[in-house]
Amino acid sequence: MNNNEQILALEVLQKAAWLEDYPVTLANSLVREGRLVRLNAGEWAQAEGDNRNGLSVVIDGLLHTYCTAPGDRDVMIWFAEPGSVLGHATRHGGGPRLVTAVCAEPSILLEISESELDKVAKHSPEIWRAIAAFTYEDLRNALRMTAEIMSLRPRERIAARLLAIAGDDQADKNPVLRISQELLGELMGVTRKTVNIHLSAFERDGLIRTGYGRIELCDLSGLKMIANG
């Protein structure tokens, strides 16, 4: 059982974008040093402000990440899926964690503490380079999001976010998002009503098809045109 999970963890690490350019031994070391943790839906993987150091790699499940704005307002930032990394790894503490991560489904995390990272780094110092890489990727997404919110109006922003959530699944079929309009609004800082209005308009124009907790993107290029103004 535990063994199965270890094998799964190894597979996830090997396929993760931030590790794919590094030797397999690195993924092996991480699984060997880290601890697998099972969490139920609703449980917190980590809280913003935690001072525990180290990383948590999502092996299975789905988490939602939140960030706190001034005035104790939480805003949902993004999802963490298998392969995503939570937490940080700066030297000497380096300050509190950035986000709160809550399990949306039962999930499995691989937790690697600061000292365990040090052990891995002893034989594979390039681990820090890999960590810099995924942090940079997170930075890219955060900046993109910031630029979108600042320069796009809700209608365009909704189109842009739909495309971002769909990701690069350039499969042959139309991408289908399983997400409520309420959550969509939370993700982009508008109310459900606003989301609803624009989704209805998109559906009228044949760009998407909506259902109960479900959005099918039918015309990706049309959505891109809207996102681009």
Partner DNA sequence: GATAAACTGTAACGTTAGTTACAATTCACG
Partner DNA sequence: CGTGAATTGTAACTAACGTTACAGTTTATC
Q: Which residues bind a copy of itself (CB under 8 A)?
A: 21-22, 67-75, 77, 88-92, 94-95, 98-99, 121, 125-126, 128-133, 135-140, 142-152, 156, 160, 188-189, 224, 227-229
Among 193, 206, 224, 225, binds DNA (CB under 7 A): 193
Q: Which amino acid is at 2?
A: N
> Is 171 near DNA (CB under 7 A)?
no
Give yes or no for residue 213 binding DNA (CB under 7 A): yes
Helix axes 127-151 and 24-33, enclosed angle (nearest 10): 90
Residue 123 makes contact with DNA by CB under 7 A: no
183-187 long-range contacts (CB < 8 A, ≥24 apart) are: 183/76, 184/158, 186/75, 186/76, 187/76, 187/78, 187/161
211 is an interface residue for DNA by CB under 7 A = yes
Q: Are 117 and 77 spatial neighbours (Cβ–Cβ below 8 Å)?
A: no
- Count Cα neighbours of 187 within 13 Å in the Cβ-side half-sphere: 20
Q: CA 195 to CA 191: how far, in whole Å?
A: 6
- Which of a copy of itself, DNA, none has residue 85 at its interface (CB below 5 to 8 Å by kind)? none
Going 154 to 84 to 16 to 183, the CA torsion angle's sign is: negative
Among DNA, a copy of itself, none, what binds residue 181 when CB lies within 5 to 8 Å by partner kind? DNA
Of 88-96, 97-105, 140-148, 149-157: span binding DNA (CB under 7 A): 149-157
What distance in Å separates the CA atoms of residue 46 and residue 109, rounded to the nearest whole number?
11
Which run of H or E residues covers position 9?
helix 2-15
Considering beta carbons, is residue 52 or 192 the nearer one to DNA?
192
Contacted entry of DNA, a copy of itself, none for residue 70, CB cut-off 5 to 8 Å set by kind: a copy of itself
Beta carbon nearer to DNA, 94 or 213: 213
| Interface positions with DNA (CB under 7 A) | 153-155, 180-182, 189-194, 196-200, 210-214
